[in-house]
């Protein structure tokens, strides 16, 4: 099986020899995507020095690099295991997704490199790293995170996702929306990143059946249980992210005595008790418009409703955030939750053993390290 994308030829694991075309390193191909040599990247990152490492994700590490022309880039390194070709699918998926995407709120891919078992993706450098660093780093970081910044970032992410879901062809479901995958440039403009898990959704398809992958706390429960991926799966993840941005709390908290605490549950309980305003991050010191903050929290709860069809489309979410669509009389139903992860994992293991054609696997990231860049 052969994939042709953006002027490249990448071969499946059956060939064991993924290659690219004969474009000279450093040149631009017809899609304005640059082919880098491994030597260029070695020099740019000072041999991928640990001092230049700016992040680490599920599929590789990211390094800061300076090219010969003086421009600063982020180099994502995906190491492919030769026998299993693990990581090859993520490389091809991300390359295919990003080479034609152009939107202010989506990360821009500059180029790539294939060298032996290594795959490199080169992006614009984001001066302010990821949203996770602000939200889940030191409290003094959140104290500098004004209401205006939170509002603009929330709206930017919503617009970027609406573009992927409804405007970009073919439509894409990101599948791993979370704080560490939202990058911030020098002006704190949000950029949705890491498309290694994304999947195409055609206009005629109601869902895509796929192995379950994502991050604990952000996974839509119906997707986690059935493996049926829809755009509403992404909407759920965005709802969790929105609650995080406004509250300054992570999707899942861990307590030695009380176990796991889920932000969605806390927000829903506060809503039922008519105390939703108390969910707003206290580091804002009441320097925020109360009505707007409540609206954002309610939008977050609308996005995480248990019944997927009740969740709004991302284009509607963007209009709700700007108050173009009034939500004052909207009824919010209870959120979808994953209270017993052990049973779900057991169910998926049994399903895998009983039917290979319906195999389900569970890929989770149990925490959100502040160093994650992509």
Q: Is 52 helix (H, G, I), strand (E, B) or coil?
A: helix
List the one residue out of 90, 75, 96, 77 whose CA is nearest residue 31: 96
Is the bond leading into 271 cis (omega within 30 degrees of zero)?
A: no
Give me the domains of the chain, ranges plus CATH numbers: 42-124 (3.30.200.20), 129-353 (1.10.510.10)
The gap from C-alpha 218 to its chain's centroid, in whole angstroms, comes to: 10
**Could you give the C-alpha distances from 61 to 12, 67, 94, 219, in angstroms and in order?**
23, 18, 15, 23
Label residue 117 by pLDDT band (50, 70, 90): confident
Examine the pLDDT at 19 and tell me if it is beyond 80: no
**Could you give the C-alpha distances from 191 to 68, 322, 360, in angstroms and in order?**
25, 19, 30
Label residue 258 by pLDDT band (50, 70, 90): low
Please report, rounded to a whole number, the percentage of residues in the chain having pLDDT higher than 70. Answer: 71
Can you give the pTM of this predicted structure?
Answer: 0.81
Tokens in use for 13?
Answer: 């694991």
Say how far apart CA 327 and CA 372 lie, in whole Å: 35
Residue 76 annotated as lining a ligand binding site: yes
- Choosing from 46, 115, 124, 176, the catalytic residue is 176
List the one residue out of 134, 346, 165 whose CA is nearest residue 238: 165
Residue 273 annotated as catalytic:
no
pLDDT the model gives residue 125: 94
Q: Which residues in 341-374 are b (16+ Cβ under 10 Å) and which e?
A: eeebbeebeeeeeeeeeeebebebbeebebbbbb
Give the pLDDT confidence of 42-94 residue by residue, as tens digits: 999 999 999 999 887 666 789 999 999 999 999 999 866 544 455 566 677 66
Give the pLDDT confidence of 187-213 residue by residue, as tens digits: 999 999 987 777 776 555 544 556 677
pLDDT the model gives residue 118: 81
Examine the pLDDT at 124 and tell me if it is beyond 50: yes
């Amino acid at each position: 099986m052969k994939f042709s994308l953006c002027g490249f030829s990448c071969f499946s694991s059956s060939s064991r020899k993924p290659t690219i075309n004969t474009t000279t390193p450093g040149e631009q191909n017809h899609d304005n995507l640059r082919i880098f040599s491994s030597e260029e990247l070695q020099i740019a990152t000072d041999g991928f020095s640990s001092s230049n490492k700016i992040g680490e994700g599920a599929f590789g590490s990211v390094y800061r690099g300076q090219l010969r022309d003086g421009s600063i880039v982020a180099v994502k390194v995906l190491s492919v295991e030769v026998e299993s070709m693990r990581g090859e699918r993520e490389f091809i998926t991300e390359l295919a997704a990003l080479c034609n995407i152009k939107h202010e709120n989506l990360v821009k891919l500059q180029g790539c490199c294939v060298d032996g078992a290594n795959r490199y993706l080169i992006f614009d450098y984001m001066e302010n790293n990821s949203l996770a660093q602000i939200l889940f780093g030191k409290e003094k970081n959140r104290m500098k995170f004004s209401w205006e910044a939170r509002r603009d970032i929330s709206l930017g992410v919503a617009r970027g996702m609406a573009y992927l879901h409804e405007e970009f062809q073919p439509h894409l479901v990101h599948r791993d929306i979370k704080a560490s995958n939202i990058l911030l440039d020098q002006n704190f403009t949000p950029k949705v990143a890491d498309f290694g898990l994304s999947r195409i959704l055609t206009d005629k398809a109601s869902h895509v059946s796929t192995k379950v992958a994502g991050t604990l706390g952000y996974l839509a429960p119906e997707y986690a249980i059935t493996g049926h991926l829809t755009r509403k799966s992404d909407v759920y993840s965005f709802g969790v992210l929105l609650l995080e941005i406004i509250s300054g709390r992570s999707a899942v908290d861990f307590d030695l005595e009380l176990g796991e605490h889920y932000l969605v549950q806390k927000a829903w309980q506060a809503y039922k008790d008519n105390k939703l305003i108390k969910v707003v991050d206290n580091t804002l010191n009441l320097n925020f418009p109360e009505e707007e903050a409540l609206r954002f929290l309610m939008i977050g709860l609308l996005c995480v409703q248990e019944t997927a069809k009740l969740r709004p489309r991302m284009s509607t979410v963007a209009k709700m955030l700007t108050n173009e669509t009034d939500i004052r009389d909207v009824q919010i139903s209870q959120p979808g939750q994953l209270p017993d992860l052990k049973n779900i994992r057991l169910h998926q293991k049994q399903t895998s053993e009983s039917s290979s054609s319906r195999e389900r696997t569970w890929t989770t990231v149990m925490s959100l390290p502040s160093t994650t860049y992509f």
